[in-house]
Amino acid sequence: MGSTWGAPSVLEIVSLALEEDIGPGDITTRACVEEKQEARGKFLAREQLVLAGTSLLPLIYGLRGGVHELNIRKRSGDLCEDNETIADVFGSARTLLECERVALNFMQQLSGVATAARQFARAVEGTKCRVLDTRKTTPGMRVLEKLATDAGGITNHRMGLYDAILIKNNHIAAAGGIRQAIRRVREFGMPVSVEVRTREEMEHALEAGAERMLLDNLTPAEAADWIKEIDGRAVVELSGGITLENVRAYAEAGADFVSSGAVTHSARAMDISFRLELL
């Protein structure tokens, strides 16, 4: 995928998160901690997890200032065990306290996505199938959640509506049919992917030259039957109701790809803590 942890859009997200939480100032920390007080802090995994988001720590502390040393022990994509140190930091006690929740929010949520992604990727190992993420992401957080799915080992489908063509059922209705929709998008010169819900739609899409077929809401047995009929004439993606429990069955049906929104919209935030020691 084209985005990186240091992209301008990522810096903007981090800046907004700090402003949202700290605003004009952390009044509790200012009242309790002397301005010149220094401290060390340590981020710890509190359960086994696939990490994502440590690359945001330099951005967070860089925007606030007052940090003299930051040691990142584990990187995005690394497996962490319970009580393993993720990163440690030395600097202004006020800065460390002000940034604690923002740093944890990012790493807990993104590590949840990365951990879910790793589970899905491992579930289809040994098949030709690859798992795709979706656009079912937290508003404003897509670039980060897509980076987290990548850290977990699954593939980015598309960042938004602007970088790939996917004709879905409402596009088909608006265009007056699959053939008409495919004809209209051909002018963009990009591969065409079409969502189909019936065998008739599947045949129409194949006849119109769709390069990729998205088969939605089929059982694994139905998917295997449809894929046999497609017979290599289009790349096949399966979606709809795909979970960690059944993704292997869908992969074994012969799909090239499966996609699941659960990787991002239902990932559980992982347990990561921050411990502070005054100097």
The 10s digit of each residue's pLDDT in 134-173 is 999 999 999 999 999 999 999 988 899 998 999 999 999 9
Task: Give pLDDT, residue 2.
Answer: 59
Q: What is the pLDDT of residue 157?
A: 84
- For residue 216, what is the enclosing H or E element? strand 212-216
Residue 189's pLDDT is 87
What confidence score (pLDDT) does residue 87 get? 98
Over 90: is that where the pLDDT of 3 sits?
A: no
Structure tokens at 265: 């919209």
State the pLDDT at residue 266.
94
Sequence-separated (6 or more) residues with CB below 8 Å from residue 160: 135, 142
Give the active site residues. Answer: 101, 136, 168, 195, 216
CATH number for region 126-265: 3.20.20.70
Instruction: Express each pLDDT in 220-229 by its tens digit.
Output: 999 999 999 9
pLDDT band (50, 70, 90) for residue 6: confident
Q: How far apart are the C-alpha atoms of 65 and 200, rounded to whole Å?
A: 61
Q: Which amino acid is at 75?
A: R
pLDDT at position 241 over 80: yes
Q: Which of 91-100, 163-172, 243-252 has the lowest mean pLDDT?
A: 163-172
First to last CA, the chain: 42
pLDDT of 214 higher than 90: yes
* Parallel/antiparallel/unpaired status of strands 192-196 and 212-216: parallel
What are the backbone angles phi and psi of residue 17, rounded to the nearest 5°?
-65, -40
According to CATH, the topology of domain 8-120+267-278 is: Aldehyde Oxidoreductase; domain 3 (3.90.1170)
User: Rounded CA gap, 42 and 31, in Å?
Assistant: 23
**Nearest residue to 121 (alpha-carbon basis) of 265, 254, 247:** 247
| CA proximity to 261, closest of 277, 276, 243 | 243
Nearest-angstrom CA–CA distance, 116 and 204: 36
Dihedral pair phi/psi, residue 104, rounded to 5°: -65, -40
Q: Average pLDDT in the 21-35 region?
A: 96
Q: What is the mean pLDDT of residues 265-278?
A: 96
pLDDT (0 to 100) of residue 64 = 95
**CA angle, residues 134, 140, 143, in degrees to nearest 5:** 55
pLDDT (0 to 100) of residue 151: 97
Measured distance CA(193)–CA(209) in Å, rounded: 10
Q: How far, in whole angstroms, is CA 7 from its chain's centroid?
A: 16
Q: What is the pLDDT of residue 1?
A: 62
What pLDDT shows up at residue 279? Answer: 86
What pLDDT does 33 receive? 96
Positions of CATH 3.90.1170.20 in the chain = 8-120+267-278
Q: Which helix (H) or strand (E) holds 12?
A: helix 8-22
> Which residue spans of the chain are classified as CATH 3.20.20.70?
126-265
As separate numbers, helices (DSSP H) first and strands (DSSP E) second, the chain gives 11, 12
* Residue 46 burial (10 A CB sphere; 0-12, 13-18, 19+): middle
